[in-house]
């Protein structure tokens, strides 16, 4: 043991070796897909963020029977999909994988947060969007079907047709149970339970009621916990249906919020993204009796109501003809 610092235990060292080996396997799979020409480049994703490639999505029916919390966790794990970039780093000239949360809503379709697939948020010389299912299999993202930056949601078509989809449920009210399985700050498979706190409209309610424009400003606060690395992960009800997905976090102090709402992203693999040093939290004033301490953290999710509206826009006859 060195003074002031504990050496890593054998168990910790073993866990690190396993994580490193898993990362190598993932990168090898992604490289084979890239070499076979099966991956969409960042330029194609940028174009499809502006003009999506529409196509129908076959949803499953919502469940109505409550489940034990352990079963909700199991379903979240089986249907969870990590989405992100396999990219050549512009700094170190090495290939990395930057993966965030997502979830299957059909056997070949995945939802994640819009900011998770924005190429401008990853410093890369060359990049390809990939999806990794719960078994660790890397799948190509073949098309961006629909998306809304305001809503912070995108629907992606992925290779294969054997994902385990979760149902979407928009019949939700404050007080209902809310669960989330995500990877906050690289802590893989963290499962949290809370409740729905409230629904709120960002920047005021705008657009025709029920329209995609209006629903882009709708958010749902839950007491379920998450942190950087959780973006895009599903928020589920007690029946195992998706009621939303991770969008932002906002710490509050006595004097209000400490900084703009942040999208909880991670840098790459198991590396958490560093806080924004250019915009540090304001120093507490002498009158702040809590000395700047965080009193509560608002966890905001994109509600399933908005995702359902995106799916409905894809499943109209006009959208189907575009395929």
**Rg over CA atoms, the chain:** 20
Give the pLDDT score at 20: 81
Tell which phi-psi region holds residue 182, choosing left (phi > 0), alpha (psi between -120 and 50) or beta. beta
Is residue 191 very low, low, confident or very high in pLDDT (cuts 50, 70, 90)? very high
DSSP class per residue in 98-138: EEE--EEEETTEEEE-GGGG-GGGS-EEEEEEEEE-TTS-E
Which of the four pLDDT bands, split at 50, 70 and 90, describes residue 318?
A: low
Contact present, 169 and 176 (Cβ < 8 Å): no
Q: Work out the average pLDDT over 176-185.
A: 97
Q: pLDDT category, 6, cuts 50, 70, 90?
A: very low
Q: What per-residue confidence (pLDDT) applies to 207?
A: 86
Domains along the sequence of the chain with CATH: 34-266+289-322 (2.40.10.120)
pLDDT value for 17: 57
- Is 77's pLDDT higher than 60? yes
Q: What is the pLDDT of the chain when averaged over all its residues?
A: 86
Question: What pLDDT is recorded for position 105?
Answer: 98
How distant is the alpha carbon of residue 265 from its chain centre?
8
Q: What is the pLDDT of residues 87-129, one digit of tens each?
A: 999 989 899 999 999 999 999 999 999 999 999 888 899 999 9
Asked if residue 2 has pLDDT above 80, the reply is no
Cβ atoms < 10 Å from Cβ of 113: 29
Task: Please write the tens of the pLDDT for every residue from 216-275.
Answer: 999 999 999 999 999 999 999 999 999 999 999 999 987 766 566 777 764 444 333 333
Residue-wise pLDDT for 154-165, tens only, equals 999 999 999 999
Those residues whose C-beta lies under 8 Å from the C-beta of residue 16, and which sit 6 or more positions away, are 8
Say what the pLDDT of residue 3 is.
43
Q: Residue 10: its pLDDT value, please?
A: 56
pLDDT for residue 177 is more than 50:
yes
Of 51, 48, 47, 57, the C-alpha closest to 310 is 57
Q: Encode pLDDT of 303-315 as tens digits.
A: 999 999 999 999 9
- pTM of the predicted structure, to 2 decimals: 0.85
The yes-or-no verdict on residue 151 having pLDDT over 90 is: yes
């Amino acid at each position: 043991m060195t003074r002031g610092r504990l050496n890593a235990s054998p168990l910790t060292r073993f866990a690190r070796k396993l994580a490193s080996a898993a990362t190598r396997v993932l990168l090898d799979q992604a490289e084979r897909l890239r070499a076979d020409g099966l991956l969409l480049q960042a330029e194609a994703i940028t174009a499809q963020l502006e003009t999506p490639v529409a196509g129908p999505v076959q949803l499953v029916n919502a469940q109505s029977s409550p489940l034990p919390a352990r079963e909700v966790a199991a379903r979240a794990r089986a249907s969870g999909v990590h989405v992100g970039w396999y990219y050549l780093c512009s700094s170190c000239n090495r290939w990395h994988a930057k993966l965030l949360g997502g979830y299957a809503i059909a056997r070949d379709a995945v939802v994640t947060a819009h900011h998770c697939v924005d190429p401008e948020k990853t410093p890369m010389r060359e990049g390809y969007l990939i999806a990794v299912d719960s078994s660790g299999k890397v799948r190509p993202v073949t098309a961006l079907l629909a998306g809304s930056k305001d809503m912070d949601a995108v629907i992606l078509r992925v290779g294969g047709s054997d994902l385990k989809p979760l149902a979407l449920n928009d019949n939700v009210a404050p007080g209902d149970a809310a669960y989330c399985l995500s990877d906050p700050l690289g802590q893989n498979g963290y499962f949290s339970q809370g409740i729905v706190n409230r629904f709120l409209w960002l920047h005021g309610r705008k657009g025709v009621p029920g329209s995609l424009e209006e629903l882009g400003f709708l958010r749902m606060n839950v007491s379920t916990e998450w942190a950087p690395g959780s973006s895009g992960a599903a928020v589920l009800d007690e029946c195992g249906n998706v009621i939303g997905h991770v969008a932002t976090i906002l710490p509050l102090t006595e004097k209000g919020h400490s900084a703009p709402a942040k999208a909880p992203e991670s840098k790459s693999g198991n590396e958490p993204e560093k806080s924004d040093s250019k915009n540090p939290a304001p120093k507490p004033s002498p009158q702040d009796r809590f000395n700047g301490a965080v009193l509560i953290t608002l966890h905001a999710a994109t509600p399933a109501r908005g995702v359902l509206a995106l799916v409905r826009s894809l499943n109209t006859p006009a959208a189907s003809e575009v395929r």
